[in-house]
């Protein structure tokens, strides 16, 4: 007998699997079947291990699917290897899943760094979107934020994505944040190089990411 909590966890796995059914997924299917078989035998630990393996495989497929949308090079900068991280888990009352891919670029002896990161994490985007809507709804708050500080924040929109750009020329800090549905793109750096920022934004396929499932 499959209990309700296990059904919910299994549902999360199957939904993720369905979204990537066009990819070779025999290993995912085997892991799901193994998890269900272990659970029916009463071996909860083995069931969880099998389902976690299925989730890990699905997330790796998701990461591979969106990695191609990130820039591979930035003129005058050295590209580092991709960074990847993911998580999925929870209980019958709450489920959480996210994955993130990122690439950093350095210039000179590595003193200057720019990082582009893309993550799919609906729970983390909610407060960011609420903040953006609050700022857009009350321009005086943004005006007050920009007074008496070297950091200047402005709104930014690209290809259906929206967010903000924060540049601190004296503190040499950069933060660009763009959101679209469950996706969040960030560019951070320790040098205010607007040409590099625009080059990175132009090299990210925002439409391709938004269309990815």
The CATH code of the domain that includes 172 is: 3.40.1000
Split at pLDDT 50, 70, 90, the class of 6 is: very low
Q: What is the pLDDT of residue 64?
A: 61
Cβ-in-10-Å burial (0-12, 13-18, 19+) of 15 comes to exposed
Split at pLDDT 50, 70, 90, the class of 210 is: confident
Range 83-108 average pLDDT: 74
| C-beta atoms surrounding 183 within 10 Å | 19
Q: What is the pLDDT of residue 85?
A: 83
Q: Which of 40, 65, 90 is the last residue of a domain?
A: 65
Q: Is residue 30 over pLDDT 70?
A: yes
Q: Which of 12, 30, 65 is the last residue of a domain?
A: 65
State the total domains in the chain.
2
pTM given for the model: 0.70
56/161 Cα distance (integer angstroms): 28
Q: Which of 13, 41, 65 is the last residue of a domain?
A: 65
Residues 138 and 160 in one domain: yes
Residues 19 and 111 in one domain: no
CB 174 within 8 A of CB 154: no
Least confident of 121-130, 154-163, 191-200: 121-130
Residues 59 and 146 in one domain: no
Residues 120 and 156 in one domain: yes
Q: Is residue 212 over pLDDT 80?
A: no
Residues 59 and 76 in one domain: no
Range 125-151 average pLDDT: 91
Least confident of 90-94, 194-198, 209-213: 90-94
Residues 107 and 170 in one domain: yes
User: pLDDT tens across 31-55, in order?
Assistant: 778 878 877 888 888 877 777 676 6
Residues 105 and 119 in one domain: yes
Residues 75 and 109 in one domain: yes
Q: What is the pLDDT of residue 174?
A: 95
Residues 21 and 87 in one domain: no
How far, CA to CA in Å, does 50 sit from each of 35, 93, 191?
Answer: 5, 21, 45
Residues 49 and 107 in one domain: no
Coil, helix or strand for 163?
A: strand
Split at pLDDT 50, 70, 90, the class of 167 is: very high
Range of the domain at 185: 70-211
Residues 83 and 107 in one domain: yes
Q: What is the residue whose two structure tokens read 């009463």?
A: 42
Residues 199 and 179 in one domain: yes
Coil, helix or strand for 169?
A: coil
Q: What is the pLDDT of residue 24?
A: 46
115 closest CA partner among 188, 167, 6: 188
């Amino acid at each position: 007998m499959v209990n309700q909590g296990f059904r919910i966890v299994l549902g999360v796995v199957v939904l993720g699997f369905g979204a990537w059914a066009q990819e070779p997924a025999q290993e995912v299917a085997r892991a799901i079947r193994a998890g269900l078989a272990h659970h029916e035998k009463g071996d909860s630990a083995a069931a969880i291990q099998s389902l976690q393996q299925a989730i890990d495989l699905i997330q790796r497929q998701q990461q591979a699917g969106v990695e191609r949308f990130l820039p591979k090079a930035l003129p005058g900068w050295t590209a580092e290897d991709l960074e990847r991280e993911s998580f999925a888990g929870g209980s019958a009352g709450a489920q959480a899943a996210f994955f993130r891919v990122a690439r950093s670029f350095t210039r000179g002896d590595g003193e200057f760094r720019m990082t582009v990161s893309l993550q799919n994490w609906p729970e983390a985007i909610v407060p960011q979107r609420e903040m953006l809507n609050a700022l857009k709804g009350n321009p005086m708050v943004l005006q007050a934020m920009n007074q008496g500080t070297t950091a200047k924040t402005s709104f930014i929109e690209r290809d259906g994505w929206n967010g903000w750009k924060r540049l601190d020329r004296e503190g040499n800090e950069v933060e660009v944040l763009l959101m679209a549905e469950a996706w969040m793109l960030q560019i951070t750096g320790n040098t205010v190089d607007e040409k590099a920022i625009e080059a990175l934004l132009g090299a990210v396929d925002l439409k391709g990411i938004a269309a990815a499932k």
